[in-house]
Amino acid sequence: MIESVIGREGRGKTISRLKSQTNPRWWVLSAALAVVTVSGCSTAHPILEPYGKTYYLDGAGGWGFGRRDVPEGLRRGDYRGDCEVFDWSTTRIPLLDQVDPLGLNKLSARSLARRIKAYKQKYPDNHVNIIALSAGTGVVVWALERLKGEYKVNNVFFVGSSLAHAYDMDQALKSVEGKVYVYHSPRDLILPWVKLFGTVDGRLGAKVAGQLGLRIKESYGGKVVNIGWEKKWERLGWSGGHTDCVGRPFVQYEIARRLQTEPRKAPREEKRAAAAGQSAGQDPAPQSSKR
């Protein structure tokens, strides 16, 4: 079958190429190139950052699922802050990103944690939210663990998560003020393969969060909310599949409504509001400490 498709000569070249890639020097070179690029590309919009920040992480391979629909869905859902697409994939190969033999995903998580820290230092009163698909949920969890509760995000959304169902969220939840919403579906046709190749946190044969939700522990204090697929979601484009839950309608009408839709005003608006109050002979209204 193989020879009928690529021929004997092509088959020989393919095997030689695979052998060359098992050479330790090939893996060292790949790791070096990945480390150079692992800082993570992003699509930040500084003009919107004073209104809030939401990070979106695609799944393994970074093939662009939700890259346009998530920001557009949030915008149409009246989210006024910046939606930054954080590109964490180091290989562009889904299987390699998923099993991560070189541990590069945690380097991407370190980069994400640095971005969150920098944003919270600049806008300490603003909310940060995170939306992540598939293996991107693993990168998010490790970034939250690195923050160690010193900097906190508001709400986190996991869709099609390839984390293990039994992953312990205690450390990550120290850096979450609101909730971790886990959208899961037994109709996902991709996640059954995760049992064969391993969850993004490296467990073979384990139950997967994207199919069952995360295991709930009393120590979570109600911060983890599992939301199972229902037929009603079909009208928003989520048929229970692996990636259609990051389509624009689902993001607009389901996820956006769970975000903090009224982040702090931009500094220029705050000055205008204060000036208007003073011109009317009123004291400027104090800003609420609850964001």
Using alpha carbons, list the distances in angstroms from residue 169 to 73, 139, 174. 28, 13, 9
The tokens 């052998």 sit on which residue?
19
Going by DSSP bridges, is the β-strand pair 41-42/53-57 parallel, antiparallel, or unpaired? unpaired
Question: What single-letter DSSP state applies at residue 85?
Answer: E
Question: Residue 137 and residue 47: Cα distance in Å, rounded?
Answer: 27
Question: What single-letter DSSP state applies at residue 258?
Answer: G
What is the length of the chain? 291
Q: What is the pLDDT of residue 72?
A: 97
pLDDT exceeds cutoff 70 at 10: no
Q: For every residue of 201-212, which 3-state class applies, written as one string?
A: CCCCCCCEHHHH
137 closest CA partner among 216, 37, 211, 219: 211
Residue 279: which pLDDT band, with cuts at 50, 70 and 90?
Answer: very low
pLDDT exceeds cutoff 80 at 278: no
Q: What is the pLDDT of residue 126?
A: 95
Using alpha carbons, list the distances in angstroms from residue 97 to 194, 229, 238. 12, 26, 25
Task: Convert the pLDDT of each residue in 48-95 to its tens digit.
Answer: 999 999 999 999 999 999 999 999 999 999 999 999 999 999 999 999
Question: Residue 170 and residue 223: Cα distance in Å, rounded?
Answer: 10
Put simply, whether the predicted model's pTM sits higher than 0.85 gets the answer no
Q: What is the pLDDT of residue 260?
A: 61
- Residue 4's φ and ψ, nearest 5 degrees, are -70, -20
Question: Residue 126 and residue 119: Cα distance in Å, rounded?
Answer: 9
More confident residue, 66 or 11: 66
Q: What is the pLDDT of residue 4?
A: 34
Q: And the tokens for 75?
A: 């915008």
The residues facing 157 across adjacent strands are: 131, 181
Domains and CATH numbers, the chain: 40-262 (3.40.50.1820)
The mean per-residue pLDDT over the stretch 135-148 comes to 98
- % helix / strand / coil in the chain, to the nearest 5? 45, 15, 40
